[in-house]
Amino acid sequence: MTRTFNKDDKYRPLVTIKKVKGKVPTVLHVSSRRYVYEPEDKRR
């Protein structure tokens, strides 16, 4: 079974998915902090 991610999903600890791109959550808010997924080939 594959988990699907949707915008505004919430989990514990308080995690809110703000953006999903290609079935991968790319922007998250975790306990009032913002995290952005940055793939290896896009890093500078």
Q: Is residue 1 part of a domain?
A: no
**Residue 36, CB-side half-sphere exposure with 13 Å CA sphere:** 3
Q: Is residue 21 part of a domain?
A: yes
**For every one of its 44 residues, what pLDDT tens digit does the chain have, with 9 covering 90 and above?**
788 889 988 877 888 999 998 888 899 998 888 999 888 887 66
* Overall number of domains in the chain: 1
Q: Is residue 20 part of a domain?
A: yes
User: Strand pairing partners for 24?
Assistant: 21
Q: Is residue 29 part of a domain?
A: yes
Q: Is residue 2 part of a domain?
A: no
Token pair of 23 as six digits: 């079935």
Q: Is residue 14 part of a domain?
A: yes
pLDDT at 43: 64
pTM: predicted TM-score of the whole model, two decimal places: 0.61
From residue 5, give the alpha-carbon distance in Å to each of 15, 22, 25, 36, 43. Answer: 12, 10, 7, 15, 24
Q: Is residue 3 part of a domain?
A: no
User: Strand pairing partners for 33?
Assistant: 30
Full domain range(s) for residue 17: 10-42
Q: Which residue has the tokens 């915008």?
A: 7
